[in-house]
């Protein structure tokens, strides 16, 4: 690990917490349009994928920079040090170390790891300044999207039932994330939503850049400006991902989310608080 004391500049980390399929990847890509941002995707999962692909000796992973992992400017350094990555914490140390050796503290690292736990470890590192971004998706969109995905595997299961269960999980997990923030050793939080990112993209991305302490600039939505090293299973997956916000409006064409609103009357209140306030 780099020997940076408290008196020296700290590496700025933007840590995205969200439920799956809530726009955290799109958010990370679009934040990386800023020249002082590098988006690494879900760092914890990337480390686990690297370890298993090395152990299995299979096809090399590809990076969103369009290089195989062993030729990627960022991850190739981590691959060389994989034996040091014995668990998630030691893996994160190697990632931070490699990031500092490549970019110093001039760039902000964006991790869309989703869960709060790795942020707890990052907050404990003296050479980092961690700011958390909580992204929530409209409960109706989240529930319908989950019901549609599960219907492919369980076509006979009523979709309203899956949507109701998904709505309950949306409430439980977002409340848990919110509570976990109070136990983190950082007081810096920003709440956004998939809806804001899609409908007010420039304003929201620029607000998060300000929150991250970055030099103000105008968001233009140009994918070619994005600077990301996000691992994917193969070259096609690494090149085929959408990197601009496009709103998934399928929930407007169905009522399968309705029963959850009757069963859990607090849902509309939480939805308004997290997504639209």
The residues that touch Zn ion, with contacts defined as CB under 5 A, are 63, 65, 72, 229
CB of 236 to Zn ion, least distance (A): 16
165 three-class SS: helix
CB of 238 to Zn ion, least distance (A): 9
Compare residues 60 and 141 and give the one whose CB is closer to Zn ion.
60
Query: In degrees rounded to 5, what are phi and psi of residue 182?
Result: -70, -15
- Whole-number Å distance between alpha carbons of 236 and 11: 32
CB of 231 to Zn ion, least distance (A): 8
213 and 12 Cβ atoms separated by less than 8 Å: yes
Compare residues 98 and 195 and give the one whose CB is closer to Zn ion.
98
Query: In degrees rounded to 5, what are phi and psi of residue 26?
Result: -60, -40
CB of 67 to Zn ion, least distance (A): 5
The DSSP element (H or E) to which 167 belongs, if any, is helix 159-181
Compare residues 93 and 229 and give the one whose CB is closer to Zn ion.
229
CB of 73 to Zn ion, least distance (A): 6
262 and 141 Cβ atoms separated by less than 8 Å: no
**Coarse DSSP helix, strand, coil percentages of the chain, rounded to the nearest 5 percent:** 50, 15, 35
Angstrom distances, CA of residue 49 to CA of 15, 87, 95: 20, 13, 14
């Amino acid at each position: 690990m780099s020997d940076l004391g408290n008196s020296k500049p700290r590496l700025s980390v933007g840590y995205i917490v969200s439920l799956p399929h809530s726009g955290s990847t799109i958010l990370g890509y679009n934040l990386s349009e800023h020249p002082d941002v590098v988006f690494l995707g879900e760092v914890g999962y990337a480390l686990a994928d690297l370890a298993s692909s090395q152990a299995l000796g299979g096809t090399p992973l590809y990076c969103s920079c369009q290089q195989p992992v062993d030729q990627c400017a960022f991850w190739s350094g981590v691959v060389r040090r994989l034996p040091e990555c014995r668990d998630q914490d030691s893996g994160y140390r190697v990632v931070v170390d490699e990031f500092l050796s490549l970019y110093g503290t001039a760039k902000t690292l964006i991790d869309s790891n989703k869960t709060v736990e790795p942020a707890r470890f990052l907050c404990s590192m003296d050479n980092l300044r961690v700011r958390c971004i909580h992204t929530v998706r409209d409960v109706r969109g989240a529930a319908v999207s989950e019901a549609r995905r599960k219907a492919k595997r369980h076509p006979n299961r009523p979709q309203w039932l899956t949507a109701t269960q998904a709505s309950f999980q949306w409430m439980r997990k977002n409340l848990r994330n919110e509570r976990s923030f109070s136990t983190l050793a950082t007081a810096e939080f920003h709440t956004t939503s998939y809806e804001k990112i899609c409908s007010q993209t420039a304003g929201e991305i620029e607000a998060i850049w300000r929150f991250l302490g970055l030099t103000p600039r105008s968001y233009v939505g140009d994918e070619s400006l994005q600077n990301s090293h996000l691992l994917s299973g193969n070259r096609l997956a690494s090149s085929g991902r959408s990197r601009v916000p496009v709103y998934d409006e399928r929930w407007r064409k169905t009522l399968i989310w309705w029963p959850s609103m009757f069963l859990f009357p607090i849902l509309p209140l939480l939805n308004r608080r997290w997504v639209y306030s």
